[in-house]
A and B are shown apart, each in its own frame.
Chain A
Amino acid sequence: MKFVCALLFAVALATPTAAETILIRDGRVVTNSAAGVIESGDVLITDGRIAALGANIAAPRGARVIDAQGRYVTPGAFAAMSELGLSEISGSGAPNDASVEGGLVAAAVDAAQAFNPNVTAVAVTRLEGVTRAAIAPSGTANMFGGRGALVTLNGAAESVLRPRAFMVLELGETGAERTGSSRASLWPAFEAALRDAREYPGRYRSGQGGAVLNELDAEALAPFARGQGLFLVHVESAADIRRLIRFKRDNPSLRFAIHGGAEAWQVASELAGAGIPVIVDPLSNLPDRFERLSARSDNAALLHRAGVRIAIAPAPGSVDAHQARLALQLAGNAVVNGLSWDAAFAAVTRGPADLFGVGDRLGRLERGYLADVVIWDGDPLDVMSAPTAVLIEGEEQPMVSRQTRLRDRYNPTRAR
């Protein structure tokens, strides 16, 4: 009997309670929309969505009221690039689905098929106010990193928000390294791959085969090569970015966003003109690679000023499975380096949502939007702050992770 009760209790904990009506009262509500910041604002959540925003909203009957006590109430953060859910531990010979080896598939790599919502990093990341993430493996044998996914960090069994949401593409040093060790061979190979994909399945059925792609990769690449999906392109140097802009000019139907872009500030107006957004790392300020010789701390601010759409996440090479939550610290450092607070906060919430095509339901606190809402004990971009409550689609998330369990076991202020 005891066991059954415990089981029922566990089921109750795990069952979505999206139907719950919640009124968050008296917050400093950052909407990321035309409404701006609503001081002493209320947020009403019904059926997992934002039902109303404003001042002095009356609590509907049966609603649970959370008093925000004047604290920040914001949309959940969106990790614009991560390996979250692709490994429990990255190294040590532990299984790591973020690391694709061999040449079996590249473009066909499918992050959604590897995502595990039960890895402990999901809870660790969610505790910090991150409710969604774009994920992809870190590398394959060629220029195509494979198809990334958008995921929800509620730990639910079905928490892939959108599989095959973007195609990772290496068109800088890394891409060159994997394609004949030279950009001079990378670009012809890339263009041939696009032709293969556009001519899929015809040339494969006819037995002609691809010039550079196997059939699996050609099939995976086909929609992207036809403009039906986003290429997330890792390029860093101004020269590589210019090549991409030229290519986009000649292939206007293709959709590109840049990840990295350390030297993007040098070509900011061209990027704005080409409508190519950039996922930028405000901590990337060292000439640690030859393609990043002019990396500088105010890259985000300069791009924003020029009208380039930005998101903030760790640079390629710094992306990992455990620290996606640090995007907020990165955004705070962008503020230190000249970006406005509003733009920096948007770059870890609305920016990624827009960039990955889910900006119509995520990234803002607006009527009808999914109720990913975070209440903070201070300024969310200050490292001293942390969430006091995290809601995903209207469900309040447990503020517990493997780390907090260890903390509680060893906390010297608690009797053991």
Chain B
Amino acid sequence: MRLRWIAVAAACLALAACATTGADTADAERDGRVPYASTYTPRPSAPTLIRGATVLNGAGAELANADVLMRDGRIAAVGQNLEADDGVAVIDGRGKFVTPGIIDVHSHLGVYPSPSISATSDGNEATQPNAAEVWAEHSVWPQDPGFGRAVAGGITTLHILPGSANLFGGRGVTLRPVLGANTVQEMKFPGAPQSLKMACGENPARVYGERNSSPATDMGNVAGYRASFIEAQAYDRRVQAHENGDGEAPDRNLELETLAGVLNGDILLQWHCYRSDEMATAIEVAHEFDFEIAAFHHAVESYKIADLLAEEGICSAMWADWWGFKIEAYDAIRENIPFVHAAGACAIVHSDSEVGIQRLNQEAAKALADGRRAGLTITRAEAWTWLSRNPARALGIEEETGTLEVGRRADVVVWSADPLSTYAVAERVFMDGASVYEPGRGQEHFSDFELGQSYREGAQ
């Protein structure tokens, strides 16, 4: 009995701290700390008021000549003519734009870091099609120079996923790009649920088909998902029964713990799926086993089934214009994002790239402009929901960040100009109300890897 209570308490703690599933328990008691939990601490911050800016609030509204007050790491007020008390740092926002920090739901920074060599290629545990037991956070190299470049592009939160070689790629992790962090735990977004990366289509069928093993086809992929979820259901039933005082607990199984987490809704499903027919089949699998899909990633054909995605409440994480690099990306159109948005479905701009993550605002701009040319009426403030609120929703952190609503974490970017353009640059980036990036003020960050290289000394 006592053990069970500890397990429940630990599970609650785990959920609060990093939403790991309830199984990693006994160790928690030993040192009073949940293993793998976030140790992220916001940098110290002073109350700060940004005055007179054009604000895109991330929830779809644009406010002209508006002020944003950050206090104690949170958004304290947004409006006009806010009072600045003593001790409040004031930033002149006239002529500038203010937005929530950008959230990238699909990044491999840290798991495929720079420099890219065989020894640093840690993103795909391509040794078996079900690798649900691995966690991307255990591959993240905090010194990846890409984290610093991402912050300079206005990124304040990013989700690191395993690659797409497997049907079940493993658990993803939501991070803060904390510059100078030496542990991944320091970067973990407090309270953010983990995800499970799954993959449709060509990649798993190619990787395993070439080895003459299953899956070698799309139908093999689907059989693989179903077989694993059948196992996970049985495992989960035994866990539940045991917790209700019925029978022995099953031996811990990392793979099945992850899948059970998806069945229970503790772990959010991020599913790599390009084609509309494959997304529709994935939705059938979700119905068969009664779980939810948070988002389809690389969803280049979402525009073909936008109504279905809206009805199912599934987000689509999309590129603005990548296409043609393989046949499942052949029907990509430039209006995918705006068409999904127009259907009332959840549209997200994602990068999947250490280069693209540095300017996701430009990708949103392209999608916005193409949508307008196709005849849609979309405001730039609505377009910003693709970069912050909607990705926050897909990551289960919508109550914490993604908009400038009062009480949210003060993740804020001050842009030099309209950020839906090529020419805007992030002039200030705030994370939890603390200034983490200001070019020209010594806040450009070079990782340990970059220090002392002959070129870097003396470079700006």
Contacts and interface: CB of A to CB of B under 8 A. Distances in A.
Q: How large is the interface on A (under 10, 10 to 19, 20 to 34, 35 or more residues)?
A: 35 or more
Interface in A250-306: 263, 266, 283, 285-290, 293-294, 296
Contact of A413 (B202, B304, B376): B376
Interface string B222-250: 00000000000000000000000000000
Contact of A286 (B117, B146, B202, B343): B146
Nearest to A266: B455
A353 B345 CA distance: 45
B74 to A, nearest CB: 31
B1 interface: no
A384 B421 contact: yes
Contacts, number: 127
Contact of B114 (A286, A333, A381): A286
B409 interface: no
A322 B423 CA distance: 24
Contacts of A88: 324
A407 B355 CA distance: 27
Interface string A375-401: 000000111111000000000000000
A92 B326 contact: yes
A329 interface: yes
B397 interface: no
Nearest to A289: B115
A285 B202 CA distance: 31
Nearest to B340: A412
Nearest to A238: B455
A403 B455 contact: no
A294 B339 contact: no
Given A89-B327, A336-B423, A293 B455 contact: yes
Contact of B328 (A92, A412, A414): A92
Contacts of B358: 283, 285
A335 B359 CA distance: 14
Given A285-B149, A287-B449, A413 B374 contact: yes
Contacts of A263: 455
Nearest to A88: B324
B321 interface: yes
Nearest to A315: B355
A102 interface: no
A322 B325 contact: yes
Interface stretch (B65-73, B361-369, B385-393): B361-369
Contacts of A285: 149, 358
Contacts of B342: 412-413
A286 B304 contact: no
A318 to B, nearest CB: 8
Contacts of A9: none
A286 B325 contact: no
Given A263-B455, A384-B365, A286 B145 contact: yes
A321 B324 contact: yes
Interface string A41-84: 00000000000000000000000000000000000000000000
Contact of B115 (A89, A290, A412): A290
Interface string B325-362: 11110111111000100110000000000110011001
B325 A91 contact: yes
* Residue among A266, A287, A323, A413 with most chain B CB within 10 A: A287
A411 interface: yes
A384 B420 contact: yes
19 contacts: A121-B324, A286-B146, A288-B115, A289-B116, A290-B115, A290-B117, A320-B325, A321-B324, A323-B321, A329-B422, A335-B422, A381-B422, A383-B362, A383-B366, A384-B368, A411-B374, A411-B375, A413-B375, A413-B376
Interface of A: 88-92, 94, 120-121, 124, 238, 263, 266, 283, 285-290, 293-294, 296, 318, 320-323, 326, 329, 332-333, 335-336, 381-386, 403, 406-407, 410-414
Given A289-B115, A383-B422, A386-B373, 14 more contacts: A90-B324, A91-B202, A94-B326, A121-B324, A124-B323, A238-B455, A288-B354, A296-B459, A332-B423, A384-B420, A384-B421, A410-B333, A410-B339, A412-B343
